[in-house]
Structure formats: C-alpha cells, structure tokens
Amino acid sequence: DLSDIRQSGVFADNMLDPYHFAVRLNEIARSWGSPPLLIERNGPGGQVIDAMHHTHQYEHIVTYTPSAGKQGTNNTRMGIFSHTNTKFTGVSNMRYWLNNLRVLKIWDMHTIKEFETYIRHANGMWKKRAGENVWDDRVEALMWSIFMLDITIAQKYYEVAIIDSQGKPKKLTNPIYYQ
C-alpha cells in the first residue's frame, strides 16, 4: 500500500563480514517472500551480491546503473551503482515519500538518530556529518529500499497501475518477478 509505507524491521551489525551478512540477508529476504533487493555494489556490497547470487541462488537482485551507455557503464551488473548522482536521486526520492507525501513511517530510533546527522556535503555527497559518532547505514538502507519506487525500477518488477502527478508509482499490482 503506497499510501502507508512502514519500516518493518532493521538489521544492523558492523562486525559481520560480507559473506555472513549475505547468509543473514538471504534468511531475512526469503522469510519475506524473496522480494527484489537493492544492494549497493560498490565496495563490500559486491561481495554480498556475489554470495547472494552464487552461493544462495537469490534471483531477485535489482540491476541499476544510472546513465548506462553515456558513461560506458555496464547495465547488466547486479546491484545498484552508488555515486553522487545516484545518492542524490535516492535521497530526493526518499524525501518525496517521507516529506512530501508523508506516507513513509520510520519506527526505529537508531534510524531517526542517523537522519539527524545525514547531510549533503560541499562535494555533493550525502553521508553522515564529519566527526559524528553515528553511522549512516540505516538511512542508506532505507534510501535504497525506497529507491525501488523509482519509476524505472518499479516498472521492471511490478505492474504500475497508477502513476501520480510527479511521475511516481501510486499503485502497484502483480509483482512481475514472480511470473
């Protein structure tokens, strides 16, 4: 229901290596019906994607590269390529659902605390404020999960029944990834 989006759970563990994180992620995702996962493929995320795909045979990993072709990027690599422009789009998208429509409900206090220090820096990067003793992983995980509602991604995995005046999905039906 895109008029009532709720944060249903949070998993955080800074001591878990990428392989064991993939084990846990696989358990969680399969218990929720194997939905599409947006996993950042930069850095250790690439190892998580590799383990999810090759070890756990998880099939619903979103593939997204902005401006594929323009920069010579390969749009067939699994995961989401995170850089300044992608994060800007992700943050804008998240703010739309959170601030404009006010339909995104966040229940976790750690996530809320991270929002207090998550800023756009002078170089255009979105991340925690320098010197803060708080992570930004929960905010970015929420951002990537809501990125699923970017129209270019949503149309790959769902039938978009209604699009709102801002070009965002208003109603999704029939997950295509189950067909």
pLDDT score at 72:
45
**Higher pLDDT among residues 130 and 7, named by residue:** 7
**Higher pLDDT among residues 24 and 66, named by residue:** 24
Give the model confidence (pLDDT) of 140-169 as tens digits. Answer: 999 999 999 999 899 988 999 999 999 999
State the average pLDDT for the chain: 89
Give the model confidence (pLDDT) of 67-95 as tens digits. Answer: 654 544 456 789 998 888 888 999 999 99
Sole residue written with tokens 């939905």 = 35
pLDDT score at 75:
63
Rounded distance, CA 65 to CA 7, Å?
Answer: 25
Give the model confidence (pLDDT) of 162-174 as tens digits. Answer: 999 999 999 998 7
pLDDT score at 27:
97
pLDDT score at 55:
97
pLDDT surpasses 90 at 128: no
pTM of the model: 0.85
Highest mean pLDDT among 53-67, 91-105, 121-135: 91-105
